[in-house]
Amino acid sequence: MSIIKALKLTHEYIHRDDEGNVDSIETALDGVDLDIAEGDFIAILGHNGSGKSTLAKHMNVILSPSDGTMWVDGKDTKDEEKLWEIRQAAGMVFQNPDNQIIAGIVEEDIGFGPENIGIPTSEIWTRVDNALSAVHMEKYRNHSPNKLSGGQKQRVAIAGVIAMRPKCIILDEPTAMLDPVGRREVIDTITELNKKEGITIILITHYMEEVVNADKVFVMDHGKIVMQGTPRQIFSDIKTLKEHHLDVPQITLLAHELKEAGLNIPDGVLTEEELLHILCQLS
Protein backbone atom coordinates (compact mmCIF):
# COMPACT_ATOMS: atom_id res chain seq x y z
CA MET A 1 0.00 0.00 0.00
CA SER A 2 1.30 3.42 -0.78
CA ILE A 3 1.71 5.88 2.07
CA ILE A 4 2.63 8.91 0.00
CA LYS A 5 1.48 9.47 -3.52
CA ALA A 6 1.82 12.50 -5.76
CA LEU A 7 0.23 13.11 -9.12
CA LYS A 8 1.45 15.95 -11.33
CA LEU A 9 2.36 17.84 -8.15
CA THR A 10 3.38 21.41 -8.96
CA HIS A 11 4.44 24.20 -6.69
CA GLU A 12 5.14 27.78 -7.64
CA TYR A 13 6.68 30.39 -5.38
CA ILE A 14 5.19 33.70 -6.45
CA HIS A 15 7.38 36.70 -5.73
CA ARG A 16 5.56 40.00 -5.56
CA ASP A 17 6.92 43.52 -5.64
CA ASP A 18 5.92 46.27 -3.21
CA GLU A 19 2.61 47.00 -4.94
CA GLY A 20 1.59 43.36 -4.86
CA ASN A 21 2.07 42.77 -8.58
CA VAL A 22 3.55 39.46 -9.56
CA ASP A 23 7.27 39.99 -10.00
CA SER A 24 8.40 36.53 -10.98
CA ILE A 25 7.19 32.97 -10.65
CA GLU A 26 9.61 30.32 -9.56
CA THR A 27 8.52 26.77 -10.25
CA ALA A 28 9.96 24.70 -7.42
CA LEU A 29 8.08 21.51 -8.26
CA ASP A 30 7.15 20.75 -11.82
CA GLY A 31 4.68 17.91 -12.25
CA VAL A 32 6.15 15.42 -9.79
CA ASP A 33 4.76 11.88 -9.82
CA LEU A 34 5.68 9.85 -6.79
CA ASP A 35 4.58 6.65 -5.13
CA ILE A 36 6.09 5.54 -1.84
CA ALA A 37 5.22 2.17 -0.34
CA GLU A 38 4.64 1.80 3.39
CA GLY A 39 7.65 0.54 5.34
CA ASP A 40 10.24 1.60 2.78
CA PHE A 41 13.42 3.55 3.38
CA ILE A 42 13.38 6.22 0.71
CA ALA A 43 16.14 8.68 -0.07
CA ILE A 44 15.66 11.83 -2.10
CA LEU A 45 18.78 13.35 -3.60
CA GLY A 46 19.33 16.62 -5.36
CA HIS A 47 21.64 19.60 -5.30
CA ASN A 48 20.59 22.94 -3.75
CA GLY A 49 17.46 24.39 -5.28
CA SER A 50 16.35 21.16 -6.91
CA GLY A 51 13.00 21.26 -5.12
CA LYS A 52 13.59 18.47 -2.64
CA SER A 53 12.82 20.55 0.47
CA THR A 54 9.68 21.94 -1.17
CA LEU A 55 8.57 18.37 -1.85
CA ALA A 56 9.17 17.49 1.81
CA LYS A 57 7.07 20.44 2.97
CA HIS A 58 4.18 19.18 0.86
CA MET A 59 4.28 15.83 2.62
CA ASN A 60 3.61 17.59 5.92
CA VAL A 61 1.18 20.15 4.45
CA ILE A 62 3.37 23.08 5.40
CA LEU A 63 2.94 23.97 1.75
CA SER A 64 -0.08 23.28 -0.36
CA PRO A 65 0.10 22.36 -4.06
CA SER A 66 -0.33 25.04 -6.74
CA ASP A 67 -1.48 22.29 -9.06
CA GLY A 68 -1.77 18.52 -9.00
CA THR A 69 -2.56 16.38 -5.98
CA MET A 70 -0.73 14.79 -3.10
CA TRP A 71 -2.10 12.03 -0.90
CA VAL A 72 -0.54 11.24 2.46
CA ASP A 73 -1.82 8.08 4.13
CA GLY A 74 -4.73 8.10 1.71
CA LYS A 75 -5.77 11.68 2.53
CA ASP A 76 -5.71 14.54 0.07
CA THR A 77 -3.45 17.30 1.40
CA LYS A 78 -5.81 19.96 0.06
CA ASP A 79 -8.51 18.80 2.47
CA GLU A 80 -8.17 21.24 5.36
CA GLU A 81 -10.18 19.09 7.74
CA LYS A 82 -7.65 16.32 7.45
CA LEU A 83 -4.68 18.65 8.08
CA TRP A 84 -3.94 17.53 11.65
CA GLU A 85 -4.43 13.85 10.84
CA ILE A 86 -1.91 14.12 8.03
CA ARG A 87 0.62 15.93 10.18
CA GLN A 88 0.23 13.23 12.78
CA ALA A 89 0.71 10.44 10.23
CA ALA A 90 3.70 12.10 8.57
CA GLY A 91 6.11 13.62 11.09
CA MET A 92 8.89 15.92 10.01
CA VAL A 93 12.43 16.52 11.22
CA PHE A 94 14.22 19.66 10.06
CA GLN A 95 17.79 20.64 9.36
CA ASN A 96 18.67 22.85 12.31
CA PRO A 97 18.39 20.91 15.57
CA ASP A 98 18.25 24.08 17.70
CA ASN A 99 15.32 25.59 15.85
CA GLN A 100 12.91 22.71 16.31
CA ILE A 101 13.22 21.96 20.02
CA ILE A 102 10.54 23.86 21.89
CA ALA A 103 10.93 22.92 25.54
CA GLY A 104 13.89 23.39 27.86
CA ILE A 105 13.95 19.77 29.01
CA VAL A 106 14.37 16.75 26.73
CA GLU A 107 11.33 14.79 27.96
CA GLU A 108 9.07 17.83 27.89
CA ASP A 109 10.02 18.49 24.30
CA ILE A 110 9.17 14.93 23.32
CA GLY A 111 5.82 15.36 25.08
CA PHE A 112 5.03 18.52 23.07
CA GLY A 113 3.56 16.70 20.05
CA PRO A 114 1.30 14.33 22.00
CA GLU A 115 0.10 17.29 24.13
CA ASN A 116 -0.92 19.10 20.96
CA ILE A 117 -3.05 16.24 19.70
CA GLY A 118 -4.81 15.87 23.03
CA ILE A 119 -3.43 12.56 24.32
CA PRO A 120 -4.31 11.84 28.00
CA THR A 121 -1.51 12.44 30.52
CA SER A 122 -0.69 8.82 31.42
CA GLU A 123 -0.54 7.85 27.75
CA ILE A 124 1.82 10.77 27.04
CA TRP A 125 4.26 9.36 29.59
CA THR A 126 4.25 5.89 28.02
CA ARG A 127 4.79 7.42 24.61
CA VAL A 128 7.63 9.60 25.84
CA ASP A 129 9.31 6.61 27.52
CA ASN A 130 8.99 4.53 24.37
CA ALA A 131 10.23 7.33 22.14
CA LEU A 132 13.24 7.93 24.39
CA SER A 133 14.25 4.28 24.31
CA ALA A 134 13.67 4.08 20.54
CA VAL A 135 16.40 6.69 20.00
CA HIS A 136 18.53 5.50 22.96
CA MET A 137 18.37 8.78 24.85
CA GLU A 138 16.92 7.53 28.18
CA LYS A 139 19.95 8.82 30.06
CA TYR A 140 19.33 12.38 28.93
CA ARG A 141 15.62 12.68 29.66
CA ASN A 142 16.07 15.42 32.26
CA HIS A 143 18.82 17.31 30.46
CA SER A 144 18.57 20.69 28.83
CA PRO A 145 18.77 20.36 25.02
CA ASN A 146 21.40 23.13 24.99
CA LYS A 147 23.90 20.84 26.65
CA LEU A 148 23.55 18.04 24.07
CA SER A 149 25.64 17.47 20.95
CA GLY A 150 24.16 18.11 17.51
CA GLY A 151 23.54 14.41 16.86
CA GLN A 152 21.84 14.00 20.23
CA LYS A 153 19.64 17.04 19.61
CA GLN A 154 18.58 15.61 16.28
CA ARG A 155 17.74 12.30 17.98
CA VAL A 156 15.59 14.21 20.47
CA ALA A 157 13.80 15.83 17.53
CA ILE A 158 13.23 12.38 16.01
CA ALA A 159 11.90 11.11 19.35
CA GLY A 160 9.53 14.09 19.44
CA VAL A 161 8.11 12.93 16.13
CA ILE A 162 7.98 9.23 17.12
CA ALA A 163 5.93 10.12 20.23
CA MET A 164 3.12 11.08 17.87
CA ARG A 165 3.14 7.53 16.47
CA PRO A 166 3.53 8.52 12.83
CA LYS A 167 3.42 6.07 9.95
CA CYS A 168 6.22 7.87 8.22
CA ILE A 169 8.96 10.32 9.11
CA ILE A 170 10.28 12.87 6.65
CA LEU A 171 13.77 14.11 7.42
CA ASP A 172 14.80 17.27 5.59
CA GLU A 173 18.61 17.22 5.50
CA PRO A 174 18.81 16.19 9.16
CA THR A 175 22.57 15.73 9.05
CA ALA A 176 23.60 18.86 7.15
CA MET A 177 24.71 20.69 10.30
CA LEU A 178 26.25 17.74 12.11
CA ASP A 179 29.77 16.38 12.43
CA PRO A 180 30.55 12.86 11.11
CA VAL A 181 29.84 11.24 14.50
CA GLY A 182 26.47 12.97 14.77
CA ARG A 183 25.63 11.99 11.21
CA ARG A 184 26.35 8.36 11.97
CA GLU A 185 24.13 8.50 15.10
CA VAL A 186 21.19 9.95 13.21
CA ILE A 187 21.45 7.57 10.25
CA ASP A 188 21.79 4.55 12.55
CA THR A 189 18.75 5.70 14.54
CA ILE A 190 16.49 6.10 11.53
CA THR A 191 17.71 2.84 9.96
CA GLU A 192 16.83 1.03 13.19
CA LEU A 193 13.40 2.70 13.33
CA ASN A 194 12.75 1.58 9.80
CA LYS A 195 13.81 -2.01 10.39
CA LYS A 196 12.40 -2.57 13.89
CA GLU A 197 9.27 -0.43 13.99
CA GLY A 198 8.48 -0.51 10.30
CA ILE A 199 8.18 3.27 10.05
CA THR A 200 8.50 4.61 6.52
CA ILE A 201 11.54 6.87 6.28
CA ILE A 202 11.95 9.59 3.70
CA LEU A 203 15.44 10.94 3.95
CA ILE A 204 16.33 14.08 2.04
CA THR A 205 20.03 14.58 1.83
CA HIS A 206 22.98 15.42 -0.30
CA TYR A 207 25.43 13.08 1.36
CA MET A 208 25.71 10.14 -1.01
CA GLU A 209 27.03 7.76 1.65
CA GLU A 210 23.74 7.98 3.57
CA VAL A 211 21.76 6.75 0.61
CA VAL A 212 23.53 3.42 0.15
CA ASN A 213 21.20 1.46 2.45
CA ALA A 214 17.94 2.91 1.12
CA ASP A 215 15.32 0.72 -0.55
CA LYS A 216 14.73 3.27 -3.24
CA VAL A 217 16.37 6.50 -4.33
CA PHE A 218 14.81 9.46 -6.12
CA VAL A 219 17.01 12.06 -7.77
CA MET A 220 15.55 15.52 -8.27
CA ASP A 221 16.66 18.37 -10.47
CA HIS A 222 14.83 21.56 -11.50
CA GLY A 223 11.68 20.48 -9.67
CA LYS A 224 11.39 17.16 -11.46
CA ILE A 225 12.22 13.60 -10.51
CA VAL A 226 14.91 12.73 -13.01
CA MET A 227 16.07 9.31 -11.81
CA GLN A 228 14.60 6.64 -9.58
CA GLY A 229 15.65 3.14 -8.60
CA THR A 230 17.66 1.17 -6.11
CA PRO A 231 20.92 2.73 -4.93
CA ARG A 232 22.81 0.25 -7.12
CA GLN A 233 20.89 1.25 -10.22
CA ILE A 234 21.28 4.94 -9.49
CA PHE A 235 24.98 4.83 -8.74
CA SER A 236 25.70 2.68 -11.79
CA ASP A 237 24.89 5.66 -13.95
CA ILE A 238 27.66 8.02 -12.93
CA LYS A 239 27.37 10.05 -16.12
CA THR A 240 23.71 11.04 -15.59
CA LEU A 241 24.35 11.78 -11.92
CA LYS A 242 27.14 14.18 -12.87
CA GLU A 243 24.79 15.90 -15.29
CA HIS A 244 22.53 16.65 -12.33
CA HIS A 245 25.47 18.02 -10.32
CA LEU A 246 25.61 15.07 -7.97
CA ASP A 247 28.55 13.01 -6.80
CA VAL A 248 28.66 9.31 -6.17
CA PRO A 249 30.05 7.67 -3.01
CA GLN A 250 33.84 7.65 -3.18
CA ILE A 251 34.01 3.87 -3.19
CA THR A 252 31.64 3.70 -6.17
CA LEU A 253 33.77 6.23 -7.98
CA LEU A 254 36.91 4.22 -7.25
CA ALA A 255 35.28 1.06 -8.60
CA HIS A 256 34.17 2.96 -11.66
CA GLU A 257 37.67 4.33 -12.34
CA LEU A 258 39.12 0.83 -11.92
CA LYS A 259 36.63 -0.48 -14.42
CA GLU A 260 37.51 2.27 -16.88
CA ALA A 261 41.15 1.28 -16.43
CA GLY A 262 40.28 -2.18 -17.68
CA LEU A 263 39.55 -4.29 -14.60
CA ASN A 264 36.56 -6.61 -14.63
CA ILE A 265 34.37 -4.84 -12.04
CA PRO A 266 30.57 -4.44 -12.26
CA ASP A 267 28.85 -1.04 -12.05
CA GLY A 268 27.28 0.32 -8.88
CA VAL A 269 29.61 -0.98 -6.17
CA LEU A 270 28.35 0.56 -2.93
CA THR A 271 30.50 -0.50 0.01
CA GLU A 272 34.14 -1.08 0.79
CA GLU A 273 33.53 -4.72 1.67
CA GLU A 274 31.85 -5.31 -1.65
CA LEU A 275 34.76 -3.82 -3.59
CA LEU A 276 37.24 -5.74 -1.48
CA HIS A 277 35.40 -8.96 -2.19
CA ILE A 278 35.36 -8.32 -5.93
CA LEU A 279 39.04 -7.38 -6.00
CA CYS A 280 40.00 -10.53 -4.11
CA GLN A 281 38.15 -12.66 -6.61
CA LEU A 282 39.93 -10.95 -9.48
CA SER A 283 43.38 -12.06 -8.41
Question: Residues 213, 218, 222, 223: what is their CA dihedral angle, to the nearest 10 degrees?
Answer: -120
In degrees, to the nearest 5, what angle opens at C-alpha 156 toward C-alphas 153 and 72? 120
* Sole window of 10-18, 124-132, 183-191, 227-235 interacting with another protein (rule: CB under 8 A): 124-132
CB 213 within 8 A of CB 193: no
Do 98 and 153 form a contact (C-beta atoms < 8 A)? yes
Angle between helices 106-116 and 150-162 (to 10 degrees): 30
Residues 237-256 that bind another protein (CB under 8 A): none
Q: Least CB distance from residue 228 to another protein, whole Å?
A: 26
Residue from 50, 54, 77, 88 that binds another protein (CB under 8 A)? Answer: 88
Nearer to another protein, 128 or 212 (CB): 128
Query: Residue 48, interface with another protein (CB under 8 A)?
Result: no
Shortest Cβ 148–another protein spacing (Å) = 12
In the complex, the smallest distance separating the C-beta of residue 263 from another protein, rounded to whole angstroms, is: 48
Other beta carbons less than 10 A from residue 139's beta carbon: 9
Q: Which of 50, 60, 154, 252 binds another protein (CB under 8 A)?
A: 60
Q: Exposed e or buried b for every residue in 47-60, given b needs 16+ CB within 10 A?
A: eeebbbbbbbbbbb
Looking at residues 8 to 37 of the shown chain, list those that interact with another protein (rule: CB under 8 A).
none
Give the footprint of another protein on this chain (CB under 8 A).
60, 62, 84, 87-88, 91-92, 94, 96, 98-105, 107-108, 111-121, 124-125, 128, 142-144, 146, 160-161, 164
